[in-house]
Amino acid sequence: MVKLDHAKKNYSGFSLDCSLETNPGMITGLIGKNGSGKSTTFKAMLGLIALDGGSVDVFGKPVSELDSKDKQRIGVAFADSGFSNYLTMKDIWAILKSTYVDFDEKFFQDKCRQFEIPMKKKLQEFSTGMKARVKVLTALCHNADLLILDEPTVGLDVIARDEVLDLIREYMENHEQCSIMISSHISSDLENLCDDLYMIHDGRVILHEDTDVLLSDYAVIKVSETDYETLDKQYLIKTKKEPFGYCCLTDQKKFYLENYPKIAIQSGTIDDLIIMMNGGELR
Protein backbone atom coordinates (compact mmCIF):
# COMPACT_ATOMS: atom_id res chain seq x y z
CA MET A 1 0.00 0.00 0.00
CA VAL A 2 3.01 2.24 0.64
CA LYS A 3 6.44 1.59 -0.82
CA LEU A 4 9.55 3.66 -0.26
CA ASP A 5 12.46 2.73 -2.49
CA HIS A 6 15.61 4.48 -1.31
CA ALA A 7 13.67 7.61 -0.48
CA LYS A 8 16.39 10.18 0.11
CA LYS A 9 16.33 13.49 1.92
CA ASN A 10 19.37 15.52 2.90
CA TYR A 11 19.43 18.07 5.69
CA SER A 12 22.54 19.66 7.09
CA GLY A 13 23.98 16.98 9.40
CA PHE A 14 21.36 14.34 8.54
CA SER A 15 20.55 12.23 5.53
CA LEU A 16 17.67 9.83 5.02
CA ASP A 17 17.91 6.86 2.68
CA CYS A 18 14.96 4.69 3.49
CA SER A 19 13.34 1.65 1.85
CA LEU A 20 10.28 0.10 3.41
CA GLU A 21 6.81 -1.07 2.62
CA THR A 22 3.52 -1.73 4.29
CA ASN A 23 0.74 -3.97 3.01
CA PRO A 24 -3.02 -4.38 3.45
CA GLY A 25 -4.07 -6.03 6.70
CA MET A 26 -0.82 -5.18 8.41
CA ILE A 27 0.31 -2.91 11.20
CA THR A 28 3.89 -1.94 10.50
CA GLY A 29 6.00 -0.28 13.16
CA LEU A 30 8.89 2.13 12.74
CA ILE A 31 11.16 2.24 15.77
CA GLY A 32 14.09 4.54 16.27
CA LYS A 33 15.53 6.88 18.81
CA ASN A 34 15.01 10.66 18.72
CA GLY A 35 16.35 12.18 15.52
CA SER A 36 16.69 8.83 13.70
CA GLY A 37 14.40 9.95 10.86
CA LYS A 38 10.93 8.62 11.69
CA SER A 39 9.04 11.87 11.07
CA THR A 40 11.08 12.61 7.95
CA THR A 41 10.14 9.15 6.61
CA PHE A 42 6.46 9.79 7.29
CA LYS A 43 6.62 13.22 5.66
CA ALA A 44 8.19 11.56 2.61
CA MET A 45 5.35 9.00 2.57
CA LEU A 46 2.80 11.78 2.41
CA GLY A 47 4.65 13.83 -0.17
CA LEU A 48 5.09 16.66 2.34
CA ILE A 49 8.80 17.06 1.57
CA ALA A 50 10.59 17.14 -1.77
CA LEU A 51 12.82 14.09 -2.09
CA ASP A 52 16.48 14.27 -3.13
CA GLY A 53 16.25 10.81 -4.69
CA GLY A 54 14.42 7.50 -4.71
CA SER A 55 10.66 7.03 -4.89
CA VAL A 56 7.52 6.84 -2.80
CA ASP A 57 4.44 5.00 -4.08
CA VAL A 58 1.11 5.05 -2.29
CA PHE A 59 -1.87 2.95 -3.48
CA GLY A 60 0.36 1.83 -6.36
CA LYS A 61 1.15 5.28 -7.78
CA PRO A 62 3.75 7.97 -7.10
CA VAL A 63 2.74 10.02 -4.06
CA SER A 64 2.90 13.20 -6.16
CA GLU A 65 0.09 11.83 -8.37
CA LEU A 66 -2.42 11.17 -5.59
CA ASP A 67 -5.72 12.92 -6.27
CA SER A 68 -8.18 14.21 -3.69
CA LYS A 69 -10.07 10.90 -3.72
CA ASP A 70 -6.85 9.06 -2.86
CA LYS A 71 -6.08 11.53 -0.09
CA GLN A 72 -9.49 10.86 1.47
CA ARG A 73 -8.27 7.28 1.95
CA ILE A 74 -5.41 8.36 4.22
CA GLY A 75 -5.70 9.08 7.94
CA VAL A 76 -2.83 10.94 9.53
CA ALA A 77 -1.74 11.75 13.08
CA PHE A 78 1.39 13.85 13.39
CA ALA A 79 3.01 15.45 16.44
CA ASP A 80 1.09 18.61 15.74
CA SER A 81 -2.65 17.99 15.38
CA GLY A 82 -2.81 20.63 12.68
CA PHE A 83 -5.75 22.33 14.41
CA SER A 84 -5.53 25.77 15.95
CA ASN A 85 -5.49 25.72 19.75
CA TYR A 86 -8.37 28.18 19.70
CA LEU A 87 -10.76 25.62 18.21
CA THR A 88 -13.19 23.61 20.29
CA MET A 89 -14.03 19.96 19.67
CA LYS A 90 -17.33 21.11 18.20
CA ASP A 91 -15.40 23.20 15.64
CA ILE A 92 -13.13 20.26 14.82
CA TRP A 93 -16.14 17.99 14.39
CA ALA A 94 -17.60 20.41 11.83
CA ILE A 95 -14.26 20.65 9.99
CA LEU A 96 -13.90 16.86 9.80
CA LYS A 97 -17.47 16.47 8.64
CA SER A 98 -16.98 18.90 5.79
CA THR A 99 -13.52 17.54 4.89
CA TYR A 100 -14.14 13.81 4.73
CA VAL A 101 -16.79 12.27 2.50
CA ASP A 102 -16.79 9.13 4.65
CA PHE A 103 -16.72 10.86 8.05
CA ASP A 104 -18.13 8.40 10.60
CA GLU A 105 -20.12 10.69 12.82
CA LYS A 106 -21.35 7.93 15.12
CA PHE A 107 -17.84 6.59 15.71
CA PHE A 108 -16.58 10.09 16.43
CA GLN A 109 -19.43 10.85 18.80
CA ASP A 110 -19.15 7.51 20.63
CA LYS A 111 -15.40 7.89 21.11
CA CYS A 112 -15.67 11.50 22.27
CA ARG A 113 -18.17 10.28 24.86
CA GLN A 114 -16.04 7.27 25.85
CA PHE A 115 -12.95 9.45 26.35
CA GLU A 116 -14.97 12.22 28.01
CA ILE A 117 -13.62 14.78 25.57
CA PRO A 118 -15.20 18.16 26.35
CA MET A 119 -17.02 19.62 23.35
CA LYS A 120 -16.96 23.28 24.27
CA LYS A 121 -13.43 23.73 25.65
CA LYS A 122 -10.68 25.06 23.42
CA LEU A 123 -7.88 22.67 22.48
CA GLN A 124 -5.41 24.84 24.41
CA GLU A 125 -7.21 23.84 27.62
CA PHE A 126 -6.88 20.11 26.89
CA SER A 127 -4.40 17.89 28.74
CA THR A 128 -1.64 16.15 26.74
CA GLY A 129 -3.58 12.88 26.95
CA MET A 130 -6.77 14.50 25.70
CA LYS A 131 -4.94 16.11 22.77
CA ALA A 132 -3.39 12.76 21.86
CA ARG A 133 -6.79 11.07 21.80
CA VAL A 134 -8.20 13.84 19.60
CA LYS A 135 -5.25 13.50 17.21
CA VAL A 136 -5.77 9.75 16.81
CA LEU A 137 -9.54 10.12 16.51
CA THR A 138 -9.14 12.58 13.64
CA ALA A 139 -7.04 9.99 11.80
CA LEU A 140 -9.48 7.16 12.50
CA CYS A 141 -12.81 8.93 11.95
CA HIS A 142 -13.19 8.59 8.17
CA ASN A 143 -12.64 4.90 7.40
CA ALA A 144 -9.24 5.44 5.82
CA ASP A 145 -7.48 2.53 4.10
CA LEU A 146 -4.09 3.78 5.17
CA LEU A 147 -3.20 5.23 8.56
CA ILE A 148 0.07 7.02 9.15
CA LEU A 149 0.52 7.60 12.86
CA ASP A 150 3.67 9.40 13.97
CA GLU A 151 4.35 8.79 17.67
CA PRO A 152 0.67 8.73 18.66
CA THR A 153 1.56 7.76 22.24
CA VAL A 154 4.32 10.27 22.91
CA GLY A 155 4.07 12.01 26.29
CA LEU A 156 1.25 9.77 27.54
CA ASP A 157 1.07 7.87 30.82
CA VAL A 158 0.67 4.08 30.69
CA ILE A 159 -3.12 4.12 30.91
CA ALA A 160 -3.57 6.75 28.21
CA ARG A 161 -1.06 4.91 26.03
CA ASP A 162 -3.04 1.68 26.35
CA GLU A 163 -6.24 3.47 25.43
CA VAL A 164 -4.71 4.89 22.28
CA LEU A 165 -3.19 1.53 21.32
CA ASP A 166 -6.55 -0.20 21.93
CA LEU A 167 -8.21 2.33 19.66
CA ILE A 168 -5.76 1.47 16.88
CA ARG A 169 -6.21 -2.28 17.45
CA GLU A 170 -9.99 -1.92 17.34
CA TYR A 171 -9.71 0.05 14.08
CA MET A 172 -7.70 -2.76 12.51
CA GLU A 173 -10.26 -5.34 13.62
CA ASN A 174 -13.03 -3.32 11.94
CA HIS A 175 -11.01 -2.50 8.80
CA GLU A 176 -9.24 -5.75 8.00
CA GLN A 177 -7.78 -4.62 4.69
CA CYS A 178 -6.41 -1.35 5.97
CA SER A 179 -2.74 -0.74 6.44
CA ILE A 180 -1.29 1.06 9.44
CA MET A 181 2.16 2.55 9.70
CA ILE A 182 3.02 3.69 13.21
CA SER A 183 6.17 5.06 14.78
CA SER A 184 7.37 5.18 18.34
CA HIS A 185 10.55 5.26 20.31
CA ILE A 186 8.80 3.17 22.98
CA SER A 187 9.32 -0.35 21.74
CA SER A 188 6.85 -2.03 24.10
CA ASP A 189 4.06 0.00 22.46
CA LEU A 190 4.81 -1.59 19.13
CA GLU A 191 5.85 -5.05 20.33
CA ASN A 192 2.26 -5.95 21.16
CA LEU A 193 0.64 -4.15 18.25
CA CYS A 194 2.67 -4.55 15.07
CA ASP A 195 2.93 -7.43 12.60
CA ASP A 196 6.35 -6.31 11.48
CA LEU A 197 8.91 -3.78 12.62
CA TYR A 198 11.45 -1.59 10.91
CA MET A 199 14.28 -0.25 13.03
CA ILE A 200 15.73 3.03 11.79
CA HIS A 201 19.03 4.56 12.86
CA ASP A 202 20.69 7.67 11.41
CA GLY A 203 18.23 7.73 8.52
CA ARG A 204 18.86 4.07 7.53
CA VAL A 205 16.76 0.96 8.10
CA ILE A 206 19.04 -1.32 10.09
CA LEU A 207 16.58 -4.15 10.69
CA HIS A 208 13.26 -5.36 9.31
CA GLU A 209 11.58 -8.42 10.70
CA ASP A 210 8.19 -9.91 11.62
CA THR A 211 7.53 -9.10 15.25
CA ASP A 212 6.87 -12.78 16.04
CA VAL A 213 10.24 -13.74 14.57
CA LEU A 214 12.02 -10.99 16.49
CA LEU A 215 10.53 -12.22 19.71
CA SER A 216 11.01 -15.95 19.04
CA ASP A 217 14.28 -16.26 17.11
CA TYR A 218 16.41 -13.34 18.26
CA ALA A 219 18.40 -13.59 21.48
CA VAL A 220 21.18 -11.93 23.37
CA ILE A 221 24.09 -14.20 24.25
CA LYS A 222 26.48 -13.28 27.05
CA VAL A 223 29.80 -15.09 27.12
CA SER A 224 33.20 -14.86 28.77
CA GLU A 225 36.23 -14.14 26.59
CA THR A 226 37.20 -17.82 26.71
CA ASP A 227 33.73 -19.05 25.72
CA TYR A 228 33.62 -16.45 22.96
CA GLU A 229 36.74 -17.97 21.39
CA THR A 230 35.00 -21.33 20.97
CA LEU A 231 31.59 -19.94 19.99
CA ASP A 232 30.37 -20.64 16.44
CA LYS A 233 29.95 -17.10 15.17
CA GLN A 234 28.14 -17.78 11.88
CA TYR A 235 24.71 -16.78 13.26
CA LEU A 236 25.82 -13.72 15.22
CA ILE A 237 24.53 -10.41 13.87
CA LYS A 238 26.30 -8.08 16.27
CA THR A 239 28.97 -8.36 18.92
CA LYS A 240 29.77 -5.91 21.67
CA LYS A 241 32.78 -6.02 24.00
CA GLU A 242 31.73 -5.93 27.66
CA PRO A 243 33.77 -5.98 30.91
CA PHE A 244 32.77 -9.66 31.47
CA GLY A 245 33.55 -10.76 27.90
CA TYR A 246 31.13 -10.33 24.96
CA CYS A 247 27.48 -9.62 24.40
CA CYS A 248 26.22 -10.96 21.07
CA LEU A 249 22.98 -10.73 19.12
CA THR A 250 21.75 -13.71 17.13
CA ASP A 251 18.70 -14.40 14.99
CA GLN A 252 19.17 -18.16 15.51
CA LYS A 253 18.43 -18.59 19.20
CA LYS A 254 17.58 -22.29 18.79
CA PHE A 255 20.98 -23.09 17.32
CA TYR A 256 22.82 -21.66 20.33
CA LEU A 257 20.37 -23.16 22.85
CA GLU A 258 20.92 -26.62 21.34
CA ASN A 259 24.67 -26.39 20.87
CA TYR A 260 25.73 -24.33 23.89
CA PRO A 261 23.44 -25.39 26.74
CA LYS A 262 25.75 -23.89 29.34
CA ILE A 263 26.01 -20.31 28.11
CA ALA A 264 23.62 -17.49 29.05
CA ILE A 265 21.08 -16.96 26.28
CA GLN A 266 18.33 -14.44 26.89
CA SER A 267 15.30 -14.07 24.65
CA GLY A 268 15.83 -10.53 23.43
CA THR A 269 13.23 -7.89 24.11
CA ILE A 270 12.85 -5.29 21.38
CA ASP A 271 14.74 -2.86 23.64
CA ASP A 272 17.67 -5.32 23.83
CA LEU A 273 17.64 -5.52 20.05
CA ILE A 274 17.65 -1.75 19.69
CA ILE A 275 20.57 -1.40 22.10
CA MET A 276 22.51 -4.13 20.32
CA MET A 277 21.69 -2.89 16.82
CA ASN A 278 22.64 0.69 17.72
CA GLY A 279 25.99 -0.29 19.17
CA GLY A 280 28.50 -3.05 18.80
CA GLU A 281 30.16 -4.33 15.69
CA LEU A 282 28.38 -5.93 12.79
CA ARG A 283 29.60 -9.42 12.08
Ligand X SMILES: Nc1ncnc2c1ncn2[C@@H]1O[C@H](COP(=O)(O)OP(=O)(O)OP(=O)(O)O)[C@@H](O)[C@H]1O
Q: For binding to ligand X (CB under 6 A), which residues are involved?
A: 11, 14, 32, 34-40, 185
**Residue 51 or residue 172: which is nearer to ligand X going by CB?**
51
Beta pairing partners, 27: 180
**Residue 40 or residue 81: which is nearer to ligand X going by CB?**
40
Minimum CB distance to ligand X, residue 194 (Å): 17
**Residue 36 or residue 143: which is nearer to ligand X going by CB?**
36
Minimum CB distance to ligand X, residue 81 (Å): 15
Minimum CB distance to ligand X, residue 33 (Å): 7
Q: Are 61 and 71 in contact (CB under 8 A)?
A: no
Q: Are 104 and 143 in contact (CB under 8 A)?
A: yes
Beta pairing partners, 109: none
Nearest to 31 by CA among 281, 283, 275, 280: 275
**Residue 43 or residue 73: which is nearer to ligand X going by CB?**
43
Minimum CB distance to ligand X, residue 61 (Å): 24
**Residue 37 or residue 152: which is nearer to ligand X going by CB?**
37
Minimum CB distance to ligand X, residue 95 (Å): 26
**Residue 14 or residue 244: which is nearer to ligand X going by CB?**
14
Minimum CB distance to ligand X, residue 148 (Å): 13
Whole-angstrom Cα distance, residue 224 to residue 173?
A: 47
Q: Are 37 and 200 in contact (CB under 8 A)?
A: yes
**Residue 203 or residue 220: which is nearer to ligand X going by CB?**
203
Minimum CB distance to ligand X, residue 79 (Å): 7
